[in-house]
Structure formats: structure tokens, C-alpha cells
Structure 1
């Protein structure tokens, strides 16, 4: 087999293996970050391979608002199970270690969002947008809060990211009248 074809197949298997091991949908940026961090492939190759894997029905591309996430299809699972031996053991170990060290962080980052932007047509200078999604990317809660300063916006973003689960529970209890 030609070296370039072999490398192409290995790169695609690496992407499938990563998505299988993480166990939940991954965003394009999460996949790219991993691939670039480990020097497995460049950004443009990742984009090409993801597109080809979707076209081959080995990955499913799910769009939800501004987020695109990739999940392994049944065919993709079969492919990785059949060809997993073609991924070098060293690479599999690196992926396994990466997943073990980063799974919780990636999962939390994919579910909890907080950002702010400037608002020129209001009495406030900034608007903070906080969100909470379930594992498939469906919004559970989204809150927009106008604030006067960038410092307030940053504080709210940090507090939301650190306490989203607790804040969600408190807000929900207040809204349904079950505050304790």
C-alpha cells in the first residue's frame, strides 16, 4: 500500500478512535485542538477527513445553533472495531491518556457556555449570555444579562462556568415555586 494512502487511512482511524473513546459528540474545534496538539495532522487535513468521514456515513454531523458536533455512526463503530489494529499502539495509548485527562473538562465545556459582547444600542455597555446544554447539544437554559462594565461581564461568565449546575437548579426551583 502506498505510504500516503496508508497515512490517510490511519489519520481517519485516529479521528474515529478519538470520537469513540470520548463517548459523546465532539466539536470541530475540540477535534482540531487534539489533532494539532499531538501533531497528528494539520487543520486542513482534519477538515478534509471529517468531511470525508461524514460523506462515508462513518460520522454524523449535528448542527445546533452555532455548534457543529460529530458523533460516530453505527457504521463508524463497526469500522473502528474492525480496523483498530491499524492504529499504532503508541497513538492509541496517547489518545486513551488524553481522553482520561480531558474528558470531564471537554464535556463540561461543551455543556456550559458563557460569553459577553458589547451592546451599543442600550443603557448598558455589555450583555452576558450564559447557557447550559445537555450532552446532545440541546439548550436546557439560556440567560442574557445586561451589565455596565466589562469586569462585571467577566465575573458573571466565570461564576456561571464554575457554578452552572447549582445556579440552574436554584433558578429552576425559584421559577417553579419550590425554593428552599
Structure 2
């Protein structure tokens, strides 16, 4: 029992540590991906911890760029500062390395959105957005005729948005 209590505390502190270390709000799926990829906690236990941390007001959901993100509260930060030494150094090293390697990708996921809907005529409306520092850089809506085209545009935007944005701006400015 004692060992599992220590593990429970360490795991919850690790979630708080990640949210503090990354220094930007992240989505539940990004947090989950980070924890699962490193084999720290299983999915269902992690979701339970997140719910408990929210109930205890250590973390909360916020909305950023039309996305639901997790943020560390002042109360969570205080608890973490008091008990951070209970997280094993090997885990904090892995977390720091992961954040360093993936931070730009995580930021891009939060600042780029792409999705599509179907209108009354069966056409697909693709919505591509780029947001930087809470400022809308571009919001482009494109009407296409097939699901395949809509998915392709969304994929291209996610993988190459910077180049696409620059080309559009050059075309508009130089025309």
C-alpha cells in the first residue's frame, strides 16, 4: 500500500512537473502522448489523475486558439515546489529531454488548425488557421468537392504551413 501511495503521488507530481516545465498550455492529448511514449503511466490511470488534479484545483482546462488546453494553477505550482524532489531524477531528465526535442512541434500543433465540414450541397469547406501569440495570422476557408481533397489540404497545412503561408503572402503582395 505504501509503495503504491508513493507511486500515486509521484505520478501526479510528474503531471504537474510537465505542465510547469513545458511553459505553455498543452492539450490533454499532447500530455497523454508525452506520458505514454515514455511509458510513465497507462492511459486510463493518467486520465483519472488528470480528473483528480482538476478536482483538487491543481490544474484546469483553458481555451487557447479554439483548443482546450491544460494549465497549471498557482495551487498546483505551490504543491509542486514543495514536493518536486519526490519525482525521480531519471524521470525529470526524460521529461526535460522530451520537451527540448518536441517543443516546436507541440507549439505548432497549438497554433495551427485545420478541419473541414460538409455544406448543404455536399461540398467540403476546409478551414485553415494560423495563430501566433493569440493573434490570427491567417484564416482561410476553401471549398472543395471531395473528402479526399479536404483531407489532403488539412494534411498539407499541418506539415507545411509556414511555406504555404509565405507563398500566399508573396502572391498577394507581389500581384
- TM-score tier, shorter chain, comes to 0.7 to 0.9
3-state DSSP class of the match of 2:40?
Answer: coil
| Partner of residue 32, structure 2 | 32
| Partner of residue 60, structure 2 | 60
| Partner of residue 122, structure 1 | 121
Aligned CA RMSD, in angstroms, stands at 2.8
3-state DSSP class of the match of 1:25?
Answer: coil
1:143 Cα deviation (Å)? 3.2
| Partner of residue 146, structure 2 | 149
| Partner of residue 77, structure 1 | 77
TM-score normalized by the length of structure 1: 0.80
1:62 Cα deviation (Å)? 1.3
3-state DSSP class of the match of 1:26?
Answer: coil
The answer to whether the 8 Å contact 2:157/2:164 transfers is no
The answer to whether the 8 Å contact 1:112/1:164 transfers is no
3-state DSSP class of the match of 2:39?
Answer: coil
Deviates more, 1:127-136 or 1:94-103: 127-136
3-state DSSP class of the match of 1:82?
Answer: helix
1:141 Cα deviation (Å)? 4.8
3-state DSSP class of the match of 1:90?
Answer: helix
- The size of the alignment, in residue pairs, is 172
Listed one character per residue, the Cα deviations across residues 98-148 of structure 1 (whole Å, up to 9, x for unaligned) are: 00011110110111011234x262163x22121234556x86654332102
- Separation in 1 of the partners of 2:162 and 2:8? 41
The answer to whether the 8 Å contact 1:129/1:145 transfers is yes
The answer to whether the 8 Å contact 1:24/1:135 transfers is no
| Partner of residue 16, structure 1 | 16
TM-score normalized by the length of structure 2: 0.82
In structure 2, do the counterparts of structure 1 residues 57 and 139 end up closer, same or farther at CA, with 3 Å as the change threshold? farther
The answer to whether the 8 Å contact 2:65/2:131 transfers is no
| Partner of residue 91, structure 1 | 91
